[in-house]
Structure 1
Amino acid sequence: MKFSPRVLLRLKNKNKRLRPDKYKRLKREGLRGSVKGTVERPRLSVYRSNENIYAQIIDDTTANTLVSCSTLDRDIRLDVKNGRTCDASRLMGQKLAKLSLKQNITKIVFDRGPYLYHGRIKALADGARAGGLQF
């Protein structure tokens, strides 16, 4: 049985024979789409929790993390009181851009993951753009 991802998601409510982890994987792949990082344009992956936000610049061809940053870093924690604000995300985006420019990374592909491009995710992207990264 070969179904498209959209058909499989529709079948979820009708047919419980398919495993739940398959739906989770389909949702992740559908949201991410064809966003893959290369040597020339690595992928900026974002994870958002309730308290903090984390970001990594990843080269998918070799599966290496080139640069990582979070609101738990000492430089950012000294500037902001709370890690769940848009200001903290913007500062983190600027710091991530500064770290990546030291490694000669200027062009990236933005991977928002399953999160909407809104709020803290958008603030991180704006901070990275202000720091000098090109999406």
Structure 2
Amino acid sequence: MGLSTSERKQRIRRRIRKVSNGTAERPRLSVFRSNNEIYAQVIDDTKGTTLVAVSSRDKDLAKEKGTKTEIANLVGKAIATKCKEAGIEKVAFDRGGNLYHGRVKSLAEGAREAGLNF
């Protein structure tokens, strides 16, 4: 019998984490997507700290209207502006086991539009 969806996602997540590690020079942009919300955080894995975090539940983004994909784009732009304020310009993208499609792709494109380099 094949893998369930959650088992498949966990296997992909572990495989991605083998390759993409966040350092002080190039931290990891991690994306978590739930059914209703999307979360992004920039992590320095060498220290084990979260440098910047943004979600669709933040006060300024929670009152935005639009589709989930449009809100994901706004989250991407918000994480990029917070990264610029913190002095971070390059990140390693971690899609968190999700396909690079839909909301995850929209978040990445929004971050790139705002000037973040992957």
TM-score by length of 1: 0.77
Does residue 41 (structure 1) correspond to residue 21 (structure 2)? The answer is no
Match of 2:53 in 1: 68
Match of 2:88 in 1: 105
Relative contact order: is structure 1 or structure 2 higher (C-alpha 8 Å, sep ≥ 6)? 2
Q: Give unpaired runs (5+ residues) of structure 2.
A: 2-7
Q: Size of the alignment, in residue pairs?
A: 113
Supply the AA of the counterpart residue of 1:121.
V
Does residue 128 (structure 1) correspond to residue 114 (structure 2)? The answer is no
Larger Rg: 1
Indicate the percent of aligned positions where both proteins have the same amino acid: 46
Shift of 1:74: 1.1
SS, match of residue 122 in structure 1: helix
TM-score by length of 2: 0.87
Does residue 80 (structure 1) correspond to residue 75 (structure 2)? The answer is no
Q: Give unpaired runs (5+ residues) of structure 1.
A: 1-12, 14-22
Match of 2:5 in 1: none
Q: Would you say the 8 A contact 2:56–2:72 is kept in 1? A: yes
Cα distance in structure 2, aligned partners of 1:30 and 1:125? 20
